[in-house]
Each structure stands twice: as structure tokens, then as C-alpha cells.
Copies of this chain bind each other. A is one copy, B any other.
Amino acid sequence: MNPIEIPNATKVRLIQLLQLLKDWPKQKITSLDISKATNWKSSLIRHDFWLIGFSKGVSNGYAVCELQQAIKNALGIQGPDSIHNKKESNGAYVQNTDSETSSTLLKNICIVGLDRLGSALLDERFFENSGFKIKAGFDSNVNRVEILRSVFPLYPATEMAMTIKREKIEYAILTVSDKDAQNMTNRLFSAGIKGIVNMTNVILKVPEYVKVQNLSILNSLNLIV
């Protein structure tokens, strides 16, 4: 269905756009509406839709829910609040044949580093309806693992490799201290993790098949000064 690769810049916008659509008050939306809400040029938005092969617009705009579905399809995304719909014949994902939640193919994640920032994410509500499910938390401080309470199990870092495989965890949020970041990263990709949301300040070195998104607060502050 989607022969041509979607440019990265477009992906970033479409994912954000989903959030806007999620609580758009009307049934229809025009590229100009979107432009007003985002400051992106309206032509850029139309161009993005063109790139993903979506051309269901009429002169009074796009049907919000058609558009949502088209974006999710194009990006292979579940959430937010995934509507169960017909699926086009795209190379289906490895099915989540796992445990309790085999419902709609959720992607399993873990939190690495349970310091203040990490433990703040130990909250299922945070990932509610997102298409992601926390399966584990890790910390090298065994003490911390024992004290904290959460609805999913916490493990010492020594059990990362094992647990990641057993629980079929594919993505990780890294919230350890800068000095531990690369070390933990090494363990993560050795264990088969496919992508990392990096909340540390360091540049992670990973094999080219591992995707990284950098979310350093400090670096971001420096970008807005």
C-alpha cells in the first residue's frame, strides 16, 4: 500500500497532528485549520497528506476520522485511542502472542533507571490508550527496586537481559544518570531492544538498527535560549 518511504520530518508532524485530531471539536478539518493551530504552512500539510497518499479532501476540508485512520495506517501506529478498523494488507507486525494482554497488539516497553524521573513514569495512566504498555522497570540500585511499588514488576539491572526477552519488551525509556547511560544502553541493545527514548544528556552509541530519540531536558533548554 505504501511503496514510498515517508520522510522523517513528515512523520514527526503527522504524529503530532494525531494529538490535535484527537480532540478536534468538529467533524471536518481544513489544512488551514491545522496551519492555524500549529504554525505549519498549509501547503506543507497538504503536501504531507499527498506523501502518505491521502487524498480524500473536498473543498470544505478533511473528515477527521478518515484522516486519523489514514495517518495511523501510514505510520503503523496503534494509539492514541485506537479505533478498531479494517486493516490494509501491509506487512503485518510480529503478533504479540503474549500473556494477559494479547488484546490489540500493544508494544511493550520498560523504564530503565528508577531515580526521580524514572519513577515518575511508573504510572500506567501515563501510557493509557497510547498503544504502549509498561512491562518492567529496572535499576541497578537493588534497594530502590525493593522500596518502590508499582503495578508491574521492578527488577535489578542484572536481570535486564532475561526479563526483556521473556516479556518481549521492544522499547525502552532511559532515565539513568549520564554516567550510566552508555553502559545501560549496551545492555539494552544486546538484549534485543529496538528503540530507546533517551532522557539522559549523553549521545548514545548504538548499532544502526536501533532507533534513538533524544529527549534531554537540558539540551532542549539550551536550544531555546
Contacts and interface: CB of A to CB of B under 8 A. Distances in A.
Nearest to A34: B203
Interface residues on A, range: 35 or more
Oligomer: number of copies: 2
A199 to B, nearest CB: 8
A96 to B, nearest CB: 13
A46 B109 CA distance: 37
Interface in A145-159: none
Given A37-B203, A39-B205, A194-B224, A173 B217 contact: yes
Interface in A34-93: 36-39, 75-77, 79-80
A149 B35 CA distance: 41
Interface of A: 11-12, 15-17, 19-20, 36-39, 75-77, 79-80, 107, 109, 116-117, 119-121, 123, 126-127, 130-132, 171, 173, 178, 194-197, 201-203, 205, 208, 211-225
